[in-house]
Amino acid sequence: MPRSLIRKNPSDFKTLALFVEATAEGLSYQSVGMPLNFAQTLQKRRQVNVTDTERFGLELANLGVSVRLTLQWQGRDYWVLVRQRRQDRGDVVLKLISGYVPAHEVNLPLHTAIQEVAEECLLETPEGWLGGRFNETWLPAPYISALHYREALPFRLTPNSGAARPVRCGSQPLLERPRAYVHLPTASLQLIYDLRLEVPKEAKSLSLFHVDERLEGDQLVARLDRKRPDLYLIPLTDGQPCAELYTLSKDRLQAANTRGLYLAESFAPQDGWVVRDERIRWKDWLKQQGLSEAGKESRLKRLTGKARQIFRKVVKTKSPSP
């Protein structure tokens, strides 16, 4: 039975529409109008179009942030993806950790991105759930009333890299240089921050879970479902993704089924400053990356050290008895 962690009133959330100006050199945005609640924002999230993908001025429904989170665990790097049933679009995708930017943080979206990591990416050990630090600042512990956090063993969240073209809120450059794109189908500006999460070496028997808020009646409810961890890992080799997908439970990597899988629009091709697609098939994204799904044996060769031993154990336990 999924465990309820927190309940919120969705009417408490307010965001702002934006006016965006894009050129070949950079992109700037500023808020317009009065704060909007979630229902009003959804009404504005309708298809828009531009004639020149490098140079335009456009009013958009909202600002969103995502985090391309690189997890460093046992000597290897992994991209973190989460599963989401998108109620406003009627589909299920794997996506980056992401969320809407509230009105009071439109000029500081990095704060929202860090908050989303704390809310959506949960790291469990037998002694409790890991808290985290961004540089020297403690991340919030959003579920402290329901979960036991280990303050003595925090993970570290740090900036990984920045995009080449600058993004500004008004005339102020954004911290950590996020990648930006305008998503035409939802009339939204999306910022992607590149961050790294380092798991402490002392954290043993690690499990990863995704928690997200869903609208249930007149409340937003965040639930933890141990039967559906909904957090996935793509291994990286020399910083490049591999054609593999795993979940992590008690230090064990478990291969995930990719049949019929879709990724969210942040993985789709970007043309200038815009993305036109709602989603992209996993197999089409692999092709776009020049990758092809490998068999179990070749996948195992690319895993190193303890990760390879863990993978062998998983395969062995799944094999039928002779």
pLDDT in tens, 220-243: 899 999 888 999 999 999 999 999
pLDDT more than 70, % of the chain: 91
178: in domain: no
- Using the predicted structure, report yes or no on whether residue 87 has a pLDDT greater than 80: no
Q: pLDDT value at position 141?
A: 94
Domain that holds residue 80: 3-12+65-163+193-268+280-318
47: in domain: no
254: in domain: yes
Residues in Cβ contact with 301 at an 8 Å cutoff, skipping those fewer than 6 apart: none
Indicate the DSSP class of residue 174: P
Helices (H), the chain: 38-44, 109-120, 282-288, 296-302, 305-318
173: in domain: no
Task: Decide the pairing of beta strands 262-264 and 279-281.
Answer: antiparallel
Confirm if 206 and 124 have CB atoms less than 8 A apart.
Answer: yes
Count: domains in the chain: 1
Q: Which residue has the tokens 């991209």?
A: 79
291: in domain: yes
302: in domain: yes
pLDDT more than 90, % of the chain: 78
Nearest partner of 132 among 120, 309, 270, judged by Cα: 120
56: in domain: no
71: in domain: yes
